[in-house]
Structure 1
């Protein structure tokens, strides 16, 4: 009787023990990352990965996700520990916010040094196929950068609201890709005076008639733009899911822009005295705006700009057109321009018009820009060919390019560089490796054996 009792209890005890051990081993393997609990979805996978804005000490990683995710990149240099860098918008807050467009600037790097990186999206690790992304920083350039205007504008969603959380990528022939991020009001500014050549050995001087291409991305929405570099300060508001071409002839431009902006071209009578730019109560990005208008041909126009103040005189051309651009930047705030000249009847006519200048400034790493709705100046030009922007999927070799700095026409304020947050990372073995399959198989066998013994006993 006693022997029969032990003959049942001992196997039952060992069955329970075996089942307990197998469950503990399984939990341990999951915690260590050997057994993966699948959470990655296509909506959280990085798309259109681009490495841009390369300098001798920094670069920018941008990508999209169809769903909002919290993202970062893990950076590794040979013989140095790994560290993690978060989205630029999350670097100054304790909270890690999710986004569709991810813009991560990695700084405090060494010149001409190779770095490996992997992308983290909601805790999942993504590689460039089976390998990590590889980036090489550029050499130190001692020469002075060229004086060039920035590229500025504003992006709108299809419903007309401001397109925040949106990536703007610039492609210029002979230069690397340049990226920027829109502010909450949809505006962006991309300095161009430190754009480097493709091989990163020198700065690139951009011709005014050279064509530039903009690719604008937010989640699954896109927009593309063609413009001449000399018009890049005056690109009108751009709407996602639309394509624009501002490189056409003057007649085509007037028709195209009028239909896109839904504003008919200005009509003036011969000899009429009028201020054409800026429009009444218009808000301007440029702190040295171009003032334009019409009057009688070959007449003197007295111009007064209050608040600063500026007083000058210009003479209209044979068609009655006149223009003036101040040599000194206007202070931020509301201003009034007043012109005084003779009309058709020889009477001295005075016209005043108010406008607002927004404060200039940009944080290069985060593309801070002033809010405005720029106007566009149309000039007959020829179209040049340009190499299209190439985007990188997680299975392609990433592109790299220089992050530009601001031109003298816009004052740039660059805050102190925020060092990356160093966090040790334990990279789990990739799914499907032989070690993970063996350990997973052992765990399954233990659970199955324990369950069978309990059932039989």
Structure 2
């Protein structure tokens, strides 16, 4: 006679309970059954900037070139997608070290949620979406005031696609990305207070501006400048710290970032040539009277022509610092316009831009500030840019007061994770594997018990 074997009910319950307790313990300890996302594609130094009534900007860096976009929405369902500013211009996704995504068309004083997608993988704030609240509606902004300049690499070539962050005391962070020429421009008058409740107030002569430049593998740079000499800010070379409050400005080398493999080379001063700094080619602006900003040989006279339904012309003398500004004398009609600037020596540049109809966009654009070298005077409004948070990557020298911090501090209205000890993590597969294994175990245990029961029933039938 065969012996029949049975698993006591209490023992089965203890096995099941033990499996559950063990699974919870593994989750608590963070045991992983599969590797996470590649470190190289994880967003680092995530910052929220340019918080306005209807837009804000998300920026980050990666250790290798990746595609990147932001999924966002007024709820955690995240029904919308915004691509990198460069992708929005080119119409196709590119791979970059630095990432700058401007999210537009939002509602004032509204909470929004978002996640970052890097190279096809989604990253969030420790299991939940990031959160930010747009600014409330305010009255007319302060008079136009634009800070602008140029960023170059160690070999003096233009640093394209570099993120420039600018902060004023007790003001929201401003940011922008350099163009192919290395030029950048930020409207200070669009900065709000840290809590976003009003326009930021500052001294147009003596307030300190702190600038942090993130160039990815090409390194970082920091600079301090006073508001009276920020148009333009002297050229910033990646890999150095600058204090432009002193004369001549003092520059000290920064330690290269951990991910940078570029060696520091001798800095070479740039040569003057005719350039248009603003607007950029194909740029959309929302002011009917934009200010044209450029650079060229000091003392030369620039001939300017704007081709619209009505052709507008003017002349302006380039200042001793090599910069010039010209305010369009009349309002332009919405639509595409062409501007041509030229010098007597034959240098000529032609560029097209689009003026948006009133209410069509929330982006600021150059409208102008008085300048001693201008023929006309009036007011500008540059491209969308707002909010600054330096990171722990640069190491400022004693000549600087800029103290980058690893965690974004954008004000009480924003919820963002600290990046001090790490970077955003993608979702873990641990719970999935754990509960799948437990489920399969329960199924096999049930089948085993059922088979024993049938076996016992057969044995009992044979005994009769």
Q: How far has the Cα of 1:79 moved from its partner? A: 7.7
**Equivalent residue in structure 2 for 1:189, among 185, 194, 209:** 185
Normalised by the length of structure 2, the TM-score is 0.56
Corresponding residue for residue 204 of structure 1? 200
1:289-368 equivalences under 5 Å are 332-335=340-343
Residue 141 of structure 2 corresponds to residue 136 of structure 1: no
Could you tell me how far apart the structure 2 residues matched to 1:66 and 1:255 are? 27
Corresponding residue for residue 239 of structure 2? 241
CA deviations 1:337-393 (Å, max 9, x no partner) are: xxxxxxxxxxxxxxxx99878869799999999xxxxxxxxxxxxxx997745454x
Provide the aligned C-alpha RMSD in A: 4.7
Corresponding residue for residue 399 of structure 1? 410
Q: Is the 8 A contact 1:151 1:192 kept in 2?
A: yes
Q: Is the 8 A contact 1:53 1:178 kept in 2?
A: yes
Could you tell me how far apart the structure 2 residues matched to 1:214 and 1:255 are? 14
Corresponding residue for residue 223 of structure 1? 221
Q: How far has the Cα of 1:81 moved from its partner? A: 5.4
Normalised by the length of structure 1, the TM-score is 0.57
SS of the residue 1:201 aligns to: coil
CA deviations 1:70-124 (Å, max 9, x no partner) are: 1112214238653222212223555321111111111222222222222111122
Change (3 A) 1:261 1:228: farther
Residue 435 of structure 2 corresponds to residue 438 of structure 1: yes
Could you tell me how far apart the structure 2 residues matched to 1:97 and 1:289 are? 28
**Equivalent residue in structure 1 for 2:165, among 163, 169, 183:** 169
1:272-287 equivalences under 5 Å are 283=275, 285=277, 287=292
Change (3 A) 1:334 1:80: same
Corresponding residue for residue 142 of structure 2? 146
Could you tell me how far apart the structure 2 residues matched to 1:126 and 1:69 are? 14
SS of the residue 2:224 aligns to: strand
Could you tell me how far apart the structure 2 residues matched to 1:245 and 1:389 are? 15
Q: How far has the Cα of 1:253 moved from its partner? A: 3.8
Residue 124 of structure 2 corresponds to residue 116 of structure 1: no
Change (3 A) 1:293 1:78: closer
Change (3 A) 1:243 1:193: same
CA deviations 1:121-147 (Å, max 9, x no partner) are: 112222223432111111111x21112
SS of the residue 1:91 aligns to: helix
Q: Is the 8 A contact 1:226 1:244 kept in 2?
A: yes
Q: Is the 8 A contact 1:67 1:219 kept in 2?
A: no
Q: Is the 8 A contact 1:288 1:329 kept in 2?
A: no
Change (3 A) 1:209 1:80: same
Q: How far has the Cα of 1:231 moved from its partner? A: 1.1
Corresponding residue for residue 127 of structure 1? 124
Residue 189 of structure 2 corresponds to residue 178 of structure 1: no
Q: How far has the Cα of 1:218 moved from its partner? A: 2.0
Change (3 A) 1:262 1:59: closer
Change (3 A) 1:246 1:332: farther
Could you tell me how far apart the structure 2 residues matched to 1:159 and 1:183 are? 17
Question: Which protein has greater RCO, CA pairs closer than 8 Å, 6+ apart?
Answer: 1
Could you tell me how far apart the structure 2 residues matched to 1:311 and 1:365 are? 30
Structure 1: 5+ residue stretches without partners = 1-34, 264-278, 295-302, 313-320, 337-352, 370-383, 403-428, 448-457
Q: How far has the Cα of 1:217 moved from its partner? A: 0.5
